[in-house]
Amino acid sequence: MATSMIQPQLALLVINAGSSSIKFALFANETLAELVRGQIDGIGSAAAFRAKSPDRTIDEQLRWPLEVAPKDHSAALHFLIEWLGQTLVGVQVAAVGHRVVHGGSHYTEPVVINEAVLQELESIFALAPLHEPHNIAGIKGARAAFGDITQVACFDTAFHRTQSFINDTYALPRSLYLEGVRRYGFHGLSYEFIAGYLKEHFPERFSGKCIVAHLGNGASICAIENGQAASSTMGFSPLEGLPMGTRSGRIDPGVLLYLMQHKRWDAHQISDLLYKESGLKGLSGGLSNDMRTLEASDSTEAKEAIEYFVQHVQQEIASLAAIMRGVDTLVFTGGIGENSVLIRRRIMQGLEWLGLHVDETQNASGATVLSRAQSNILCLRIPTNEEGMIAQHTKKLATTDRGRD
């Protein structure tokens, strides 16, 4: 009598490796339904793990004693793989998708990772020194753990490669542009997801002039025309544009020259200032980089930090509308954009001159449509899903890659 073999459920693993963390999500291979997501924080020190499934049947938290905590990304991935195998019995990882912050000017779409791709990504470390090395460490750890299964790199810069030269460059000598000093833009996976959502649910808006505000601890805004990126507030690095949780946003380069020449600050001090001590945290006098904390505070510094943030969002929206010669749709996404009733209302109220009129009831309830019927601009609240976007790309490329075998 023949024994029947139970086929394992195939799944796609999405990894976003940071300097001391690994965010992950697991999706069913066929349906792309999310099975679980979570992260490991504090790698190399007091590490902690948490994971949750959409139906809450999995809801786990763990904090390691220092002496047994994962010491590097490889050890963290080893734990994650073992945990997935024990928790989701019968699930087999078929392919792995990685978020890679920077693809340089070469990569305009996701790619299957091989040695040549890895070498090229390592050659552009200088373009994203605080992010790219950790993304690559995650890739190498996953390749060591999973062997020959398909692994895919999805770039945060790729969506913006449709920008024109005018919106891709700085007013510097062209030789620097050719060397790679250009406006790459970031949060591209988020913008790509939102564009896809519009195409499916608001097709008449997909082909129009849309501005998407991805507002969170990292914040940027992108102009999307006919489904393609026209311009973005972020440029050469994730520092440009809006004030963020701890990042400065746009700043007069003369300030940096002053710090170098008169205060004798070195590159490390300036980097810490711009990436870790500025933005909402700096404006609030060190109170917090978290918008929720600032909204709950009665301090003058917190109120001024909020006002600064709101005004600069309005300013950048107006600037992007000018680039496209108009705007039909405004989308809020990201942690602040999706969750802060106050910030959305303040931003929209300051854009009434563009013909945008907020529906207070809809905004307060977190509805999808936030604008009134008579508004010239349709304003939407759409939760982003960068991990889901990576899963889509990974499934497509993994299928093609297997077809070549």
Q: What angle do CA 399, 400, 401 make, to 5 degrees?
A: 90
At residue 380, what is the residue type?
L
CB 50 within 8 A of CB 37: no
Task: Name the strands in the sheet holding 22-28, side by side, starting at the edge strand that comes first in the sequence.
Answer: 59-63, 48-52, 34-41, 22-28, 9-17, 91-100, 150-155, 111-112
Distance CA 274, CA 193 (A): 29
Active site residue 405: no
Pairing of strands 22-28, 34-41: antiparallel
What's the distance, Cα to Cα, between the start and end of the chain in Å?
A: 34
**Among the options 156, 290, 328, 401, which is catalytic?**
156
Question: Which tokens hold the place of 208?
Answer: 């129009």
**Buried b or exposed e, range 9-44, using 16+ CB within 10 angstroms:** eebbbbbbbbeebbbbbbbbbeeeebbbbbbbbbbe
- Residue 36 phi/psi, 5-degree rounding, is -165, 155
Show Cβ contacts of residue 254 under 8 Å, excluding neighbours closer than 6 positions: none
**Token digits of residue 358:** 């907020």
Strand partners, 63: 48
Asked if residue 216 lies in contact with residue 243, where contact means CB atoms within 8 angstroms, the answer is no
Give CA–CA dist 281/299, Å, rounded.
13
Active site residues: 156
